[in-house]
Amino acid sequence: MTKIISVNAGSSSLKFQLFDMPSETVLTSGNAERIGLEEGIFTIKVNGEKHVQNLPIPDHAVAVDLLLKALVDYKVVESLDEIKGAGHRIVQGGDYFKESALVDEDVVNKVEELAPLAPLHNPAHLIGYRAFKAALPEISHVFVFDTAFHQTMEPESFLYPLPYEWYTDYKVRKYGAHGTSHQYISQRTAELMGKDIKDTKIITCHLGNGASISAVDGGVCVNTSMGLTPLGGIMMGTRCGDIDPAVAVYMARQAGMTPDELDTAFNKKSGMLGISGISSDARDIEKAYHEGNERAILTLKLYVNRVINMIGGYVMQLGHVDAISFTAGLGENDAHLRGLILDAMKECLGLSINSELNAQIHGKEAKISNDDSKVDVYVVPTNEELVIARDTYRILGF
């Protein structure tokens, strides 16, 4: 058996899972939060029991040291030598990477070069990678890119109708995100349907604080909603999604907003937060919705409208759809919002939903459509860390 660690490093966090491969057994999982702040939180789950420490975690190197020490202290491993490889989530791989890659200096340089397309993510991923490389210098590392799964899109799906030189000179195009999630969900949905994925047309809905929708034809992504950056696509927790680009020019002229101020507004003050004025958390908006708050009601109506318009376009592109799958925080747990989305598509797609079952499903696999539904509908919890472990195990050739 080979132990592989899957790592997802953010600017102030580090999530991990340790797998025994190829059995795909999860040996432990956890995260370090509030890295760089006065008091951090380190959590590790072993044998179903959660252990939490509140202590300063000044940087990612300290977070990695805490993690590795905990693996030995809680006897997850007898020795760190048992860990044979590390897989790291990287949000933006541009058009350099059509699949996961063994890390070398050239790969690191390309990820750094692409940082302007994912300024909150790529630099943080590299910090996490370097911390693990320093702590475990003998093992090999693999980068698993959120964008790789979407590199199968044709130019008519990934290009913007802008001056062509913007694409050739500056790489302005749609890259998408959440690729590991869409890859896992489409594969798992096909398995639940009892079909070879090559014989399926599936729309995957990764609905969380960040959200994206993908059209997957025969296991191959043909379109996805996020764009040049994770700002594009459907409405999200704090991100606006697709808007008329003239909004930026108009607000710059009318309100004197700078590019940085516009970037902050679009990324951090829009979406559910911007429309509701309540919160970016759908649970807060849901509560206000049921209390009759008009802006909360409007927020969910707007969200549903954006989602069904994206799905509708993908149905046209695919020709037909065999299944729609929901995943991520809202997709897995928000039965009310799922119900609103499905109800809005019911007539067009011939959906027949088991409403009682849908209301009961929170964070677990289930088929929530009835047998007479023309399209199967599933809830499938995502497992990006498993995709990372699988790719790492495969590429390192164990």
* pLDDT tens column, 106-163: 999 999 999 988 877 888 889 889 988 988 888 999 999 999 999 999 999 999 999 9
Closest-CA residue to 210 (of 345, 357, 384, 5): 384
Give the pLDDT band (50/70/90) at residue 12: confident
- Name residues whose C-beta falls within 8 Å of residue 90's C-beta, 6 or more positions apart in sequence: 111, 121, 122, 125, 143, 144, 145, 146
User: Catalytic residue at 146?
Assistant: yes
pLDDT digits (tens, 9 = 90+) for 270-329: 999 999 999 888 889 999 999 999 999 999 999 999 999 999 999 999 999 999 999 998
> What's at 293, amino acid-wise?
N
Taking alpha carbons only, the member of 13, 14, 15, 17 closest to residue 5 is 17
- Specify whether the CB–CB gap between 18 and 76 falls below 8 A: yes
Structural domains of the chain, ranges and CATH numbers in brackets: 2-145 (3.30.420.40), 194-384 (3.30.420.40)
Mean pLDDT, to the nearest integer, of 48-76?
90
Please say whether the beta carbons of 55 and 42 come within 8 A: yes
pLDDT in tens, 13-48: 788 999 999 999 999 999 898 888 788 899 999 988
Neighbour-count burial of 17, counting CB atoms closer than 10 A to its CB (0-12 exposed, 13-18 middle, 19+ buried): buried
* Catalytic option among 20, 59, 81, 146: 146
Q: Does residue 11 have a pLDDT over 70?
A: no
Rounded distance between C-alpha atoms, residue 246 and residue 278, angstroms? 27
Q: How many residues does the chain have?
A: 398
Helix (H, G, I), strand (E, B) or coil at 349: helix
Give the whole-number percent of the chain exceeding pLDDT 70.
Answer: 100
The whole-angstrom separation of Cα 35 and Cα 32 is: 7
